[in-house]
Structure 1
Amino acid sequence: MLRQYELVDRVLGYDPEADEALLNRAYVFSMAAHGSQKRANGDPYFSHPIEVAGILTDLHLDDETIATAILHDTVEDTLATPEQIEKSFGPAVARLVDGVTKLSKIEAKSANERAAENLRKFLLAMSDDIRVLLVKLADRLHNMRTLHFIPNPEKRRRIARETMDIYAPLAERIGMYEFMKEMQTLAFQELEPEANESINKRLEQLRKGGGDQVARIASGIRLMLAQKGIKAEVEGREKHPYSIWRKMSERHISFEQLSDVMAFRVIVDDVEQCYRALGLLHQRWPMIPGRFKDYISTPKRNGYRSLHTGVMHSERVRIEVQIRTEKMHAEAEFGVAAHWAYKTGGSVQPDAKSRWIRELVEILEHAASPEELLEHTRMAMYQDRIFAFTPAGELIQLPKGSTPVDFAYQVHTDLGDQTVGAKINGRVVPLRTVIQNGDQVQILRSKAQEPQVAWLNFISTGKARAAIRRFVRNKEQSELVALGRRFYDAIVARLPTLLAPDALDLAVKRLKLPGVEAMMEAIARGELSDQAVMEAVMPGSSAEIPAVLADARRAVSVKGLTPGVAFTLAPCCTPVPGDRIVGVRRSDAPVEVHVIECPALQAAPEEDWVDLAWGDGSEGGTARLNVIVRNQPGSLGVMAGIFGTQGANIVNLTLAERDASFHTFQVVIEVDDVAHLMRILAALRAADAVVSAERTEPRAPLAA
């Protein structure tokens, strides 16, 4: 573990103006706060934040960031408070510590909810100051280095999976490839130990068979370039096991079929020499088609710049070569940490190279659930990129597999919402067409257009998926509010007197709902009964309703029972007058009246059956319907209007299924008898907006 003076000396070594007193106070405060706490390996817990700070000194970060690293676990794991941090170290360090603090104590929530809430707060914090992300990545890297000390294998796998899914991609997205590679390597060891061991054994066999092949090839490249007047530093390495395993998985090939397990970096003085070195390599050894990528003229989204190529070396092996300048190399190794200035007197904002961070924050506003947030965020972080151009020549970066719809949403959300067609390289193409690297894409738009649910079947970006899902949710809500308003008007029409102007607002308060729209939506979903609505808008007005319903129930009678024997209408099949019925005796319970076709009868012995018939003048009951309507404006109004015209009161309505063309509703209505029900079904089927209307089949048998 680093000693206090060693840590301070490291910082002063690259930043003589650093606040030495701040670092010393942070060291002492953290040591005192963590006290006798121990880590899983038996070391003092205090060693962890100091090692995290040490990792960040290798990146030459500022004193506030180093202090944050030293303090990053004090609020979560000790009795220290955010107020103490701010008082002792200032608002900037307090804000950074708060952004880094993990929310692992939210035990009451599901794993997805915890991960999503961690990610939500984390993304918002790092969008304000990227140093939050740098400290968090160093924290996770040190935790991964000591992961093997944790005795619980499930906990180790959870941490490794979270690292692979979230933190390694985050490191990649800000260009910190060394962090990314080490995290992936350590997580891979935990998640796929057998595959990791197998690949390492194969690499060891290659080393024994080929001698020091990497050093020989690197020396040969360096000598060849020097002979042509280019001074270059050449480094060679084997690709790490996770990178090899991922290529084997993606290409469905064996280790023996994988031809490029060695990679070389050629570092030269300037951009001109980068291209000269590339030409010389291609003259000396055959280029492998499809392996050349120019990230200097078109940098990656995280600002990464380099030339990549693959050649067939004279030692009969394929090798990958990356050519870059010293500055490009520093940014490739440590990303934003290599070139962002922190001595600005305030928070550090992401620049154009980190536009993706702002896009992730935009996704936060669109996601409706933890699952959606995690899905969209991982989509935004963890995909290889392609480049496409607008008609004006603007370069747009997208994940591989993107379509014109993804392209439109990447340019602007409004453009995505209004997309009606697209041209790729001047030709009109279907919206599901996959964009290729270098394509020019023109979006055809119309203000009358709106996002389509069917687009979710082929889009690739989290931004597009989040925007479409938000629109669908809002549209569904507006339709439910409109339907609830119609139901509300019908309920109010049954009140004995006209309502006062403020009756609706008072009803919302009595029901403790956030607003009128929420009340209408609750009515449409069947979450508020007619009586509850009546009582809310006019207290005391629902007193007559139970008597009316009781009268209706008394109007239902059956023949075949001993006088005085109670009966109930079975909820599994909801018989109405006119149905063929049979009763089932229940011990210490009323006789249950079922439709003769009800599956529940199969579970009852025949000796318990009672032959029944409807009594004279019986009327009143509930029926369940399955109604499919077209996904077009006014369809719900047509359905509700038919129920009203036919004198059927809606007891409950549920949207069971929804797609681009149709909505399926499950409806419970009050009817007089079977003849009344048949008239309602006939009226529904006659409407153009209704695709089908059927009485729901009886449900599965109930337990006796």
Structure 2
Amino acid sequence: MRMAPDWQLSESERQEMISQYRAALHVVGVKLKPHELKTLRDWVTRSFTQNPSEDSFRLLIRNLRIIQLLVNEFMLGRSSILGTILYDGLLDGTETVESIEKQFGDSVAVIVQGLYRAHDLYERNISIDSENFRQLLLTFAEDLRVILIMIADRLDTMRNLKLLDEELRPKVVYEVTHLYAPLAHRLGLYAIKTEMEDLSLKYEQPQVYHDIARKLNETKRSRDAYIQAFIEPVKKRIEQAGFDFEIKGRTKSIHSIWNKMKKQNTSFESIYDLFAIRIILDTPVEAEKSSCWQVYSIITDMYTPNPKRLRDWLSIPKSNGYESLHITVMGPQGKWVEVQIRTHRMDEIAEKGVAAHWKYKGIKSESDSMDQWLKNIRNILENPDLNATEAVDTFKLNLYDDDVFVFTPNGDLFKLKKGSTVLDFAFAIHTSVGSHYVGAKVSGRNVPIRYILRNGDQVEILTSPSQTPKRDWLNIAVTSKARAKIKQSIKEQENKDADLGREALMRRMKNRKVEFDESQMTGLSRKHGFKFISEFYQAISFGQLDVIELCDELQEMAKHGNDETDTTALRSVEHFTKQTDLEKITTENDVLVIGNDVKNVQYSFAKCCNPIYGDEVFGFVSVSGGIKIHRTSCPNAQQLKERFGYRIIDVKWTGKSGKVDMATLQIIGNDDIGIVNNVTSVLSKEKNVQMRSITVNSHETFFEGTISVMVSDVAQLSSLIKKLEMVKGVVRVTRL
């Protein structure tokens, strides 16, 4: 609420403003040039003197605190500081994006514009569960520093929640719990994530928070004494080994303790691992891993380790760049103690997160966490099949999901999603390995097909040439690749079985001199209770139906004039009758002419190549009697023509299609954060072109994307391909 124009600062408020200003000036002084420092002073003066009120005073103090946060706790520099300062000028109209870019550069302008877009969404009271939330996340993906500034903003708000209007507090806490704390976690800002969670718990369940805080305080003396007793002998042994290091003891966060109490349904007193020891080594980068493992050896010589609690994030860092070695050992008095071993570099990255990578930009990281994180966000945002709520849910889940890394006996490393089974791993190696799977060994031990992979497992897949995928494998496989290959293999096997059954019946009928009639077959299959004729032929192949008895039934049906056949059954192409000339077909809006001007043809477009109007196509008579339309360039075309030439039929386009069809494009180009926006911008400007889905994967310096679009004909698709090829960074566009 605004105060009267004659509102005056109290002495304590004046001192607070001076103190915060000096503190902000101190931290930014080494990062800004003299004329940029003048921008800071002008901003402070303008922020308060133009509209002196309690609101403007509180906003100024808050912004000064955020600037200090950005430098001290987020390790951000000039662009982020100036972006935060100049953002207010964009809001009140004294600055424009163009003027900011001209004076301070593109990097600052991008940050200011990102903050402004987010502000615009919040001004309209956009819920994070709404459709426009995707647009907010797209703003995030444009520049990572925008995310860090917004996290800093919410952290300051949580620290000073009592200053916020009471009706706004629940919304802020909800956003912090469901968005900003998970973001901080994903970016490796563990200290900030922990503080956010504790402050959220303090607001949502103050009694629980204060009870745990009180009990921690009451046991602090005994805990400190125990930690000291544990550390002393460890410290001596590490010193004797010649390492330069420091040791810290820490207690679990209140929120973490509360989660463990809920998860284990136990009391505070029953939580055994309330504290952890952190050993931080000062060692050169090239000796980091060996030094950490040497200290590990010292600790495990002194105390008995729990092998189930070993966490090796040195060999394979977490996806957010976290590196450390965690072990849990049995300390004095029979108490479990977690020991974390890392270097100063690793510790700073663990505490400061992705921002700390910039400090060590001369060191090549083993996991490009920023690009991987942005790619995950894009995959969610750019999938139009997800509605808003699903997008948020998927986003929250992806933040917490971990990958699992598994080795082959030869030492090859594979990355799968958490929860994958050995069957998924078999298909990840190769489709043929998965298709012929008969068993697996993990570290030399036989495991069942449902065994869920764990980090570091060494898996040997056992195969047999006679094995084929089973339908119940779909209840075991969790990765999309494995499930797709299993479904494809089952379908192919079913078609093969159906062909064998059909051929067996035709041979028997030929011997009995019974004429083969597809419509009679359809009627006969329905008589035996089969919904699809392919299932009827499969039953013959499996020996479930006797071909001699079927021939007898067909002869009997022929004697009675086909009375028992279903007159509405599907007919094969050989029995279609000539309709009219080409003009008649065109006027009836039929866009395909099949064979020699036949009518009443049931046809569908093959999913393997997705033909669209104008493509060169051919027809394939399926087992069910319908026609599948394939492109002549279909990857399956050659095989179909070689194996089933007698089932190929000529097809040609006529008239003009009044509908749109889906086409899939593959895009390969140079990896760049803005490449997706550039591609989707081209698509959005195309009239009568609708994007159905887009996925992007990064491989070192290149990216590979797949886009599904709805177009009316091949000419429109060709035009779109040419425009996409002109996008900066795109190397090749290919239709799949």
Partner of 2:273: helix, strand, or coil?
Answer: coil
**TM-score, normalised on structure 2?**
0.53
Q: Which residue of 2 aligns with 1:686?
A: none
Structure 2 match to 1:157: 170
Q: Residue 113 of structure 1 aligns to a residue in which SS?
A: coil
Alignment CA distance shift 1:407-1:32 (3 Å):
farther
Secondary structure of 2:236's aligned partner: helix
Long gaps (5+) in structure 2: 1-16, 489-578, 592-621, 628-736
Report the counterpart of residue 147 of structure 1 in structure 2.
161
- Residue 44 in structure 1 maps to residue 58 in structure 2: yes
Helix, strand or coil: the match of 2:269? coil
Instruction: Name the amino acid aligned to 1:99.
Output: G
Q: Percent identity?
A: 30
Do the aligned partners of residues 343 and 266 (structure 1) sit closer, same or farther apart at CA in structure 2, a change above 3 Å counting? closer
Alignment CA distance shift 1:173-1:70 (3 Å) = same
| Distance change (3 Å), C-alpha of 1:203 and 1:376 | same
**Is it true that 1:339 corresponds to 2:357 in the alignment?**
yes
The answer to whether 1:53 aligns with 2:67 is yes
Confirm whether residue 25 of structure 1 aligns to residue 39 of structure 2.
Answer: yes
Which one-letter code corresponds to 2:407 in the other structure?
Answer: F
Task: Select which of 281, 285, 288 maps to 1:268.
Answer: 281
Structure 2 equivalent of residue 379 of structure 1:
397
Aligned to 1:132: 146
The alignment yields a C-alpha RMSD, in angstroms, of: 4.8
Is the 1:294–1:307 contact (alpha carbons within 8 Å) kept by the matching residues of 2? yes
Change (3 A) 1:390 1:167: farther
Residue-by-residue CA offset, 1:430-475 (whole Å, 9 max, x unaligned): 986522222356999xxxx99x9997x88878x999999xx9xxxx
Aligned 1:611-622 pairs, distance under 5 A: none
One-letter amino acid matched to 2:77? D
The C-alpha deviation readout for 1:136-187, integer Å capped at 9, x for no partner, is 222222122122322325x323322322222222222222222222222212
2:373 matches 1:359: no
Alignment partner of 1:7 out of 24, 32, 36: 24
| Residues 600-657 of structure 1, C-alpha deviations (whole Å, 9 max, x = no match) | xxxxxxxxxxxxxxxxxxxxxxxxxxxxxxxx998999xxxxxxxxxxxxxxxxxxxx
CA distance in 2, matches of 1:466, 1:79: 57
Q: Which amino acid aligns with 2:211?
A: S
* In structure 1, C-alpha distance between the alignment counterparts of 2:418 and 2:62, rounded to whole Å: 39
| SS of alignment partner, residue 386 of structure 2 | coil
2:250 alignment counterpart: 237
| Deviations, residues 191-212 of structure 1 (Å, cap 9, x unaligned) | 3323212211221221255564
Partner of 2:725: none
| Secondary structure at the counterpart of residue 59 of structure 2 | coil
Map of 1:653 onto structure 2:
none
The alpha-carbon deviation at position 322 of structure 1 amounts to 0.7
Counterpart position of 1:612: none
Aligned residues: 468
Give the equivalent residue in structure 2 for 1:64.
79
Partners of 2:24 and 2:65 within 8 A in 1: no
**Counterpart check, 1:113 vs 2:130:** yes
Pair 388,99 (structure 1): closer, same or farther in 2 beyond 3 Å: farther
Give the 5 Å matches for 1:496-575: none
Residues 280 and 337 of structure 1: is their aligned pair in 2 closer, same or farther, counting only changes over 3 Å? same
Contact conserved, 2:323 with 2:342, CA < 8 A, in 1?
A: yes
Q: Residue in 2 aligned with 1:225?
A: 238
The C-alpha deviation readout for 1:240-280, integer Å capped at 9, x for no partner, is 10111222233333222210101111112333332222222
Match of residue 97, structure 2, among 82, 100, 105: 82
Residue 459 to residue 202, structure 1, CA distance change in 2 (3 Å): farther
How far did 1:306 drift? 1.3
3-state SS, counterpart of residue 406 of structure 2: strand
User: Deviation digits for residues 267-313 of structure 1, max 9, x if unmatched?
Assistant: 12333332222222112222234122221122111221111111222
Task: Specify whether residues 74 and 246 from structure 1 end up closer, same or farther in structure 2 by C-alpha distance, changes over 3 A only.
Answer: farther
Aligned-partner Cα distance in 1 for 2:409–2:39: 57
> Aligned AA for 2:397?
M
Identify the match of residue 184 of structure 2 among 171, 193, 203. Answer: 171
Contact conserved, 2:421 with 2:452, CA < 8 A, in 1? yes
The aligned residue for residue 694 of structure 1 is none
Shift of 1:323: 1.0
Secondary structure in structure 1 of the residue aligned to 2:280: strand
Q: Which amino acid aligns with 1:246?
A: N
- What's the offset of the Cα at 1:26? 4.9
Q: What amino acid sits opposite 1:51 in the alignment?
A: R
Which residue does the alignment assign to 2:576? none
Task: With the length of structure 1 as denominator, give the TM-score of the two structures.
Answer: 0.56
From the superposition, tell whether residues 55 and 111 of structure 1 become closer, same or farther in structure 2 (CA, over 3 Å).
closer
Q: Does 1:324 align with 2:324?
A: no
- In 1, distance between residues paired with 2:425 and 2:331? 39
Partner of 1:189: 202
- The one-letter amino acid paired with 2:379 is E
CA displacement at 1:84 relative to structure 2? 4.6
> What is the aligned counterpart of 2:330 among 305, 312, 321?
312
Q: Which moved more, 1:215-224 or 1:94-103?
A: 215-224
